[in-house]
Amino acid sequence: MPETQKQGFGALNLPPAILAKLDRAGFVTPTPIQAQAIPPALEGVDLVGIAQTGTGKTLAFGLPIVSRLKPGQVALIIAPTRELADQIEEVFYLLGVSTARLIGGESMGRQVAQLRRKPSVIVATPGRLEDHMERGTVSLAGVAIVVLDEADRMLDMGFAPAIRRILAHTPKKRQTMLFSATMPREIADLAATYLVEPVRIDVAPQGTVASGVDQELLMVAKDDKNETLREILHEHRGTVLVFARTRHGARKIARTVRGFGHSAAELHADRTLAQRRAALDGFKTGEHRVLVATDIAARGIDVKDIALVVNYDVPEKPEDYVHRIGRTGRAGAKGRAIMLATPEQHKDVRDIERLLRTELPLSPQSRLKIERPVTPAGRGAAVPQARRKSRYRGR
């Protein structure tokens, strides 16, 4: 075996045919979650994998699935969003594996046709999978491997009851792998109930972000956020992903960005499946420089070389901050993330900093102050940051 393979995926005891497919697809060096999760997964044990967004978790469970599945067996992968299901299916397509994708917003008839072809892998969102189960168009009797991907996000979205009902219809003798970016108590309870003596792979503590992402906190007045965004888009080159809290907000921001003269697409729950795919495709190809998205779509955006993530709105949950900025600086690349916050949101900012266990660097362009402790993790007296001169107009 060539030395390069022994030092890369070849060192993970993967079959030669799979190594050849990885080589053709351009995958050379496994990421930490892949290097640590693949060997035990190949042995068939249950597994809990905790790793930040953008670290290659799909291959971490995909390669063991392709290696271990026997004829007639099926792997079931449950994902929280349509976009993430699309992303997962793309990886299996590169590996030459037959799939059925069961997601909302698509024809049931087309999905039934995919199921009739006896795919090796079923990728599904919980709601649409239950639709098929109720209609009797899918059987889970042959499921040998179950993967719960982005499990924390699925629980956030209220899918816990659906997941429990789905798992109840799968064989008790199966391999179960759970992957998540964070490990709240609900995930631990889920693992304790449905996984048997799982191996835990934790490649980064909760709240860890990629080392290549430069973060920046920019304090602004609410009425100045649009003008600040205009200046940011002017000063930074490359593709930009902008996050909003609500669908209505995403629509307004996208219109504002277009008014600045930039091409912009939207990704949120009000868009049809065709519109969401067109938005992602346009962003990937460069047709749209800016993509405005809500958190529901954050985990399914798999676009390389996003230059900048802008948190136009402070996320509702601190964990969402990690997921959002994980869209840039992927696979060891450099990235940048800027969060716009008003002084009234200092508590939300502190919650994020507690999760990260560090203070977010205050932008030199911040003119407004934020009250924060002298040291991270809540130690020390709160003191105001000094006002700094801004080169942005209107602040």
* Rounded Cα–Cα distance for residues 182 and 152 (Å): 6
* Of the options 2.70.98.40, 3.40.50.300, 3.40.50.1390, 3.40.50.1580, the CATH number for the domain spanning 213-384: 3.40.50.300
Amino acid 270: pLDDT: 82
Alpha-carbon distance 20 to 65, whole Å? 16
Quote the pLDDT of residue 255: 96
Q: Which of 351, 329, 330 is nearest to 341 (CA)?
A: 351
Q: The pTM is what? A: 0.71
Q: Give residue 243's pLDDT.
A: 96
Q: Please report which helix (H) or strand (E) contains residue 200, including its range.
A: strand 199-202
Helix (H) or strand (E) holding 180: strand 175-180
CA-wise closest residue to 300 among 107, 157, 160: 157
CB neighbours of residue 273 within 10 Å: 14
- pLDDT (tens place) for every residue of the chain, 395 residues total: 444 446 689 899 999 999 998 888 778 889 889 999 999 999 999 999 988 766 788 999 999 999 999 999 999 999 998 888 988 998 999 899 999 999 998 899 999 999 999 999 999 999 999 999 999 999 999 999 999 998 988 888 889 999 999 999 999 999 999 998 778 888 899 999 999 999 999 886 666 666 678 999 999 999 999 999 999 999 998 999 999 999 999 999 999 999 999 999 998 878 887 888 899 889 989 999 999 999 865 566 667 788 999 999 999 888 888 888 888 876 667 889 999 999 999 999 999 998 888 899 988 777 676 665 544 444 333 333 333 333 443 33
User: 3.40.50.300, 2.60.40.10, 3.30.360.10, 3.30.70.260: which CATH number matches 31-202?
Assistant: 3.40.50.300
The pLDDT of residue 376 is 44
Give me the residue spans of the domains in the chain: 31-202, 213-384
Q: What is the pLDDT of residue 263?
A: 95
- The dihedrals phi and psi of 310, each to the nearest 5 degrees, come to -110, 120
pLDDT of residue 210: 65
Backbone torsions φ then ψ of 153, nearest 5 degrees: -65, -40
Residue environment code for 122-132, b if the CB has 16+ CB neighbours within 10 A, otherwise e: bbbbbebbbbb
What is residue 331's predicted lDDT score, i.e. its pLDDT? 61
Q: How big is the chain, counted in residues? A: 395
- C-alpha closest to that of 85 among 318, 378, 299: 299
Question: Using an 8 Å Cβ cutoff, are 337 and 216 in contact?
Answer: yes
On the question of a common fold for 31-202 and 213-384, the answer reads yes
Instruction: Give the pLDDT score at 325.
Output: 87
Amino acid in position 194: Y
Two structure tokens written together for 232? 């940011």
